[in-house]
Amino acid sequence: MMKQVIYLSIRELANLIRNKEISPVDLANTFLERIENLGPSYNAVVSLTRDRAIKQARKAEEEILRGNYRGKLHGIPFGAKDLLATNGNIPTTWGAEPFRNQIFNYDATVIRNLEVAGAVLSAKLAMVELAGGMGYRQPNATFTGPGISPWGKGMAWSGGSSSGSGSAVGAGLVPFAIGSETWGSILGPANNCGVSGLRPTYGRVSRYGAMALCWTLDKLGPLCLNADDCGLVLEAIAGYDSNDPTTTRQKYQYDAGDGNSRKFRIGVIRDVAEGADEAVRKNFLESLKSLEDIATIEEINLPDLPYEAVTRTILFAEASSAFEDFIDSGKNMQLTAPEDRFGGYAGLTILAKDYIRALRIRGMIAKIVDQAFEDFDVLVGPSRPSVAPSIEGEFRSVIRAGAKDLMGAIGNGVGLPAISVPNGFSDAGLPTGIQFMGRAYAENTVLQIANSYQSLTKWHEYHPEQLA
């Protein structure tokens, strides 16, 4: 029975737990054993939090037996990207050698909210060092080794910077994981590992206790087996936090919706798949055909603005500022990837006037994109322009010249919610993804469309055969 729970959705696991067909302790032990045995194969795990997991699972089991059921996450194991502070003498390494033994005496708000929901922290998951804050050119930019996708016969990169979160969910090590995104760090691993990853609206989820990379771009969100699970997790972690003044006071309650109750309106930015891999373009066009059953689809033109340059300028300027003391200390020379040791210096040369200009243009972009959503529920595009690259190569050797990440630049620059869900495979058996991006705080609309798409296509039900 316990082996059969691997790759069950959160809803399915929750029903088994609530009906007392499986116990939270047995479930925790099943996933802990899987993390211990398979985690090293994917360079996915920094710390196995066994003691904490068993303690939380026993508490959940006792509460449920007494009739105190907290909800769908009660007794469900999960993993957390290792930039989230955790109490209990558990290291929080930020994926970087200089911080390998860093200890905090408190839990990040996201970790605390999941504990309140009854979820069971089973592992701290690997990441690109400093979430890519010093810049990186290759998958091995982390002291844990390159994140490996469960697809690609051990040679494909899981994506960054939430590498372990993507691998862990894709390999069935945990039912869900928490990642972070500044630009592509949730949607990228979701794409490469064949799972669903939700980037919430900026300010929807507290970042208190999370490593700061870019104050105006950082967001925390879930990676799960399907879009519905992402909604369940988001409801648990969203909300105002006085420790993070950027959080919204808007309350969030997940509404899965009924895909048959309405016709969605979808916009496709002209040339959004320009320069992408052939498999990415092919699967994206097939996805649009599938979506015609539930939506009207229309091409949209956006004004010619430096979308990517604006977000890149903000990212580099804020990241270098966040780590200025670290750079000045000389500890950057202890980073694993040689190029990372020097990448932060370039960001420190960005002029204040250029940063301010980027902020001003970002405001213009926000207005333009918000106007576009007057006519559309979501905008769609490929999650990434390429399938997962080899763990042995540099990124510039696999990214096609001219390939763009327009939606990533806009969505992260403005802080809009988006989800990546699987939409097929390349001839080499590597997954591709499609992303749905919505208006600020319109996570439910994004999730409802993603749920409807997944009910039509079933790509999210494919898992690596050798791991089932």
- 282 in active site: no
* Residue written as token pair 């911080």: 99
Catalytic residue among 47, 180, 185, 426, which? 185
HSE-up of 307 (CA within 13 Å, CB side)?
Answer: 19
Cα atoms found within 13 Å of the Cα of residue 350, Cβ hemisphere only: 24
The rounded distance, in Å, linking the Cα atoms of 340 and 293 is 46
C-alpha 127/C-alpha 105 separation (Å) is 21
Is position 81 annotated as part of the catalytic site? yes
161 noted as active-site residue: yes
Give ∠ CA 462-464-467 in degrees, rounded to 5.
130
Catalytic residue among 47, 72, 81, 206: 81
Residue of 161, 386, 420, 426 marked active site: 161
Catalytic residues: 81, 161, 185
